[in-house]
Structure 1
Amino acid sequence: MQFRIILVAVSVAWALPVLNPATSHDATPSILHQPLDAEGADVTYAVPECPLQQQDSATSFIVRQFAYTKYVVAPGQIDALPNTTQLAFALDNSAASVTTACSFNRGTNDAGDAWYPCGDRTIAVTTTSEDGAQRETQHTVKTSARFEWDRWVLAVRQSWVCGGSVSPVSAQAVTTVSPSCQTSNTESYSIQQCTAPDATVGADLD
């Protein structure tokens, strides 16, 4: 029996408010769109090999396009936007050849222990039997992330399929982000915007 895997290429875009301190306090922030996948035909991959269970770091994730924005309204000001902290990044899985977009706002009661869902990816796996009959099944690559806001510690976990038997596998990675930040203040609000270098992080199998 032969296997092939099709990663359905979806044009994924995440949006992060980019605030211009030079604008007036009642101006609406512009939105920055950063698509992660090129538009076009579906991309065909071989079914990825399953990582070895006995390895401590069986696969790796690449965290890139890290962007952090903290927007705080000055006391006594009424603004169209509430206080908010946002995080966005792209996650590459070297084992599954999948890129996922993550973007979320900090929850009201999030002390750094809340998991947020990222964008799902769909993998179409086509199997061909000895008589030539083909059967396609859909599998979802699930991703979630957690961020310890005060310590800059990012955790990500992802599940996908691998191997000739299309077995499920999941892995988790933790890294400390080294941000480079700029803060802008006006009479009406304060904005902190941070970026970080791309990082390759070893992932442990769950």
Structure 2
Amino acid sequence: MYTLYGNKVSGNSYKARLTCELLNIEYQWIEIDILTQENRQAGFLQINPLGQVPVLLITPDNLAANSEPTLILESNAIIRYLAEGSALIPNSAIDYARMWQWLLYEQGEVRPNIASVRFIRKFQNMIPSRLEEYQQKFDKSNDVLSYLNQQLEGKAYILGDNVSLADISLYAYTHNAEEGGLDLSPYQDLLNWFKRIESLPNFVRL
């Protein structure tokens, strides 16, 4: 059995939940309240000493006989494991490498910027101590959105005609960028891409 420890407002947690739903994978969800720092309490730190969500717990039902429960950390590693053997993983070596290119871009550019401005604006109410950081990441976020919009021009999905884990990962923090004060209206290819993902069978919202 799969157990997902996550948070309902976390884009990283959402990636794992959305992947499970799209692939009809049964799982148990355990909510960890990061806004009250439940993820920093001793109980959760025994599960993940880094204090981060999501965490995927794989119990012996999903493993070989006599195996011990296994934990997988990091959202993109989790969705890669969950999607094994599915159409969300490209068959060709080139497209597989390009998928990982976008998964790494998401963690290196999308999450640190777009997720940060969303968190500062929506959950920290623009606290003065983070206003300078907010503006810097706001400007960078627009660069990221513009780049993604360019890359999606003439494409159904980020790799081409077929949806992949790269789309799931990139979608998690870009689709709600307006919660960080960003204007998505100039990015029509990005907006059309959102609609295609939201039309996938079994799609669930954050």
TM-score w.r.t. length of structure 2: 0.24
Relative to its length, the structure with more helix (as a share) is: 2
When Rg is computed on C-alpha atoms for both structures, the one with the higher figure is 1
